[in-house]
Chain A
Amino acid sequence: MMLEDELTVSTRERDGVAIIDLVGDVTTFAEEKINAAYREVTNNGARFVLLNFRQNDYINSAGIAILIGIVTEVNRNNQKLAVSGLSQHFQKIFRMVGLAQYAEIYQNEDEALVGLQKG
């Protein structure tokens, strides 16, 4: 039985920010898609990166490990990272694991675009 999660990952640019849209579940099965999207925006010279979450019913510790890996790369590449679109529950989870220390959390994409370039 195949139980891989459905996650759609796409990239776009808006107001100088590279946006990675993550629609669906973020689990161990998401690693290749998320890392490929990050490599793509970095190779295109992104300084500001926004992980824009949508319809994320399930983000588990394996998914969080992937995001910690992205934080590591963002630090190495002197980029700035933010996240938007998380439910209240997953905002709490991101704070619990410490991700919020490394990526500002915004309610939505518009707030993130303003906040990312202000700081």
Chain B
Amino acid sequence: MSNPLNNSMDLSFPSELGYEVIARDAVSAFARRLGLSAERVEDLKTALSEACINAIEHGNSLRPDLRVFIHCHLEPDRLVIEVIDQGATEFVARDNVLSISEKIAGLGSLRGMGLMLISQLCDESSFVPGPEGNCMRLAFSR
């Protein structure tokens, strides 16, 4: 991996829960080789899993005929990971994410913690226009 042009990796998998673990293991091995600390790799594993689950469940609406694509590349001081779905459902940001106390009080779904975890675990996270669907970009400083 001495050639900077080689510091990138692409994966794709069907929209089926469980594949995010395989993607997570591959990308975390890549991140370790690029010098991320053990603690940051743990953060990456959780954030990437959540981004993949979001793409599988929401972006691709759990359709196994659609695929999730992951592109990773190294910038001078950070690792950037893009998780791209095929856009069966367009991502719409929600303003009112429920707190855990509101969830326990029965005010909404118990799910929905994934995006909050992503935003807290990455140095940068955002949705950017994707080629045919949603693209979530995650960045981790080295």
- Across chains A and B, the number of contacting residue pairs, with CB separation under 8 Å, is 74
Given the complex, which residues of B lie within 8 Å of A60, measured CB to CB? 20, 46, 49-50, 53, 114
- Residue B17 interfacial (CB < 8 Å): yes
A4→B114 CA distance, assembly (Å): 19
Nearest-CB residue, chain B, relative to A96? B120
- Residue A77 interfacial (CB < 8 Å): no
- Residue B18 interfacial (CB < 8 Å): yes
Total residues of chain B contacting the partner, CB 8 A = 29
Nearest-CB residue, chain B, relative to A58? B21
A87→B17 CA distance, assembly (Å): 24
B104 x A97 contact (CB < 8 A): no
Listed stretches B4-12, B95-103, B127-135; interface member: B95-103
- Residue B69 interfacial (CB < 8 Å): no
A65→B16 CA distance, assembly (Å): 19
A98 x B101 contact (CB < 8 A): yes
A93→B118 CA distance, assembly (Å): 11
B120 x A65 contact (CB < 8 A): no
Given the complex, which residues of B lie within 8 Å of A61, measured CB to CB? 50, 53, 111-114, 117
- Residue B116 interfacial (CB < 8 Å): yes
